[in-house]
Amino acid sequence: DVKVTQSSRYLVKRTGEKVFLECVQDMDHENMFWYRQDPGLGLRLIYFSYDVKMKEKGDIPEGYSVSREKKERFSLILESASTNQTSMYLCATTQGQRQETQYFGPGTRLLVL
Amino acid sequence: GESVGLHLPTLSVQEGDNSIINCAYSNSASDYFIWYKQESGKGPQFIIDIRSNMDKRQGQRVTVLLNKTVKHLSLQIAATQPGDSAVYFCAEKSKTSYDKVIFGPGTSLSVIP
């Protein structure tokens, strides 16, 4: 079974803080994704990566950056957290371009005060 | 633009009854559709998928129906159980979007014992 883990289940940060959300997968999957999930809006893609050191903007990249230094790890960075970034953050992976099923982590619920 | 939506945001069914969750999509180029289940406090979990060359696909207690003429997707759950209570998302993907999946806002299914 694919296992996708996220570093924290709950985080509370203050406005202006730099925030790191970590995602690790153990199945050697090529593609990794970061979404945020908000009531009524569903899942929205922030960034994705299809290889080490590669990254692509999703639909809502503003205020975020990512890092993929190793294949198994994909980090989401909030350079200066704002209250409108309070959300559930979900990491997902797929094996490759033809493997379309996304495997999700448990999510990190971030509260920015 | 592309969009995936659900007809009903909430659905309550009696235990043992069949559940039907509906989804509309607008992108004619979408050729792959997925249903996810998300339980409270967890990440979305893959349930079943279907490609555009199929009309129906069955899994264990679940069936997905695809009507390309009216761009409609449905998930049928047979003999609904309390453990089926969750939010269900439909998602679509097209060949033109590299591993980019568009999710609907979700339907909350509540099973009444």
pLDDT in tens, B59-71: 999 999 999 999 9
Q: How does pLDDT run across A7-61, given as a tens digit for each residue? A: 999 999 999 999 999 999 998 888 999 999 988 788 899 999 988 989 999 989 9
Distance CA A35, CA A47 (A): 7
Q: Work out the burial of residue B12: count CB atoms within 10 Å of its CB; fewer than 13 is exposed, 13-18 middle, 19 or more buried.
A: exposed
Which pair of structure tokens corresponds to residue A113? 């005060």
Q: What percent of chain B shows pLDDT beyond 70? A: 88
Higher pLDDT, B101 or B54: B54
**Confidence band, pLDDT 50/70/90 cuts, at residue A2:** low
Does residue B1 carry a pLDDT above 50? Answer: no
Name residues 10-39 of chain A within 8 A of B (Cβ). 31, 33
Neighbour tally for B53: CB within 10 Å? 8
User: Quick check: B100 and A45 CB within 8 A?
Assistant: yes
User: Quick check: A106 and B43 CB within 8 A?
Assistant: yes
Domain ranges of chain A: 4-112
Q: How many domains does chain B have?
A: 1
- Give the distance, in angstroms, between the CA of residue A61 and the centroid of all CA atoms in the same chain: 11
Of B36, B42, B98, the CB nearest to A106: B42
pLDDT computed for residue B109 by the predictor: 96
Least confident of A35-39, A108-112, B25-29, B86-90: B25-29
**Taking chain A, what is the end-to-end CA distance rounded to the nearest angstrom?**
37
B41 at A interface, C-beta within 8 A: yes
User: Quick check: A104 and B44 CB within 8 A?
Assistant: yes
Distance CA B98, CA A34 (A): 15
The owner of tokens 């309390």 is B82
Does residue A70 carry a pLDDT above 70? Answer: yes
Which pair of structure tokens corresponds to residue B102? 């568009």
A60 at B interface, C-beta within 8 A: no
- Give the distance, in angstroms, between the CA of residue B69 and the centroid of all CA atoms in the same chain: 17
Single-letter code of the amino acid located at A78: L
Neighbour tally for A33: CB within 10 Å? 26
**Confidence band, pLDDT 50/70/90 cuts, at residue A62:** very high
CATH code of A4-112, in short, is 2.60.40.10
Which pair of structure tokens corresponds to residue A45? 């893609």
User: Quick check: A107 and B49 CB within 8 A?
Assistant: no
A70, A52 Cβ separation under 8 angstroms: yes
Does residue A106 carry a pLDDT above 80? Answer: yes
pLDDT computed for residue A97 by the predictor: 61
* Domain membership of residue B38 as a residue range: 4-96+104-112
Strands (DSSP E) found in chain A: 4-6, 10-13, 19-25, 31-38, 42-49, 56-57, 65-70, 73-78, 87-94, 103-104, 108-112
pLDDT computed for residue A99 by the predictor: 53
Mean pLDDT of B12-29: 92
Single-letter code of the amino acid located at B17: D
Mutate one of B30, B37, B99, B108 to test the A interface: name it (highest A CB count within 10 A): B99
What is the CATH number for B72? 2.60.40.10
For residues A49, A53, A56, A60, the Cα torsion angle rounded to the nearest 10 degrees is 80
B89 at A interface, C-beta within 8 A: yes
What residue of A is the nearest CA neighbor of B48?
A: A101
Q: How does pLDDT run across A72-95, given as a tens digit for each residue? A: 999 999 999 999 999 999 999 988
Q: Work out the burial of residue B76: count CB atoms within 10 Å of its CB; fewer than 13 is exposed, 13-18 middle, 19 or more buried.
A: middle
A105, A4 Cβ separation under 8 angstroms: yes
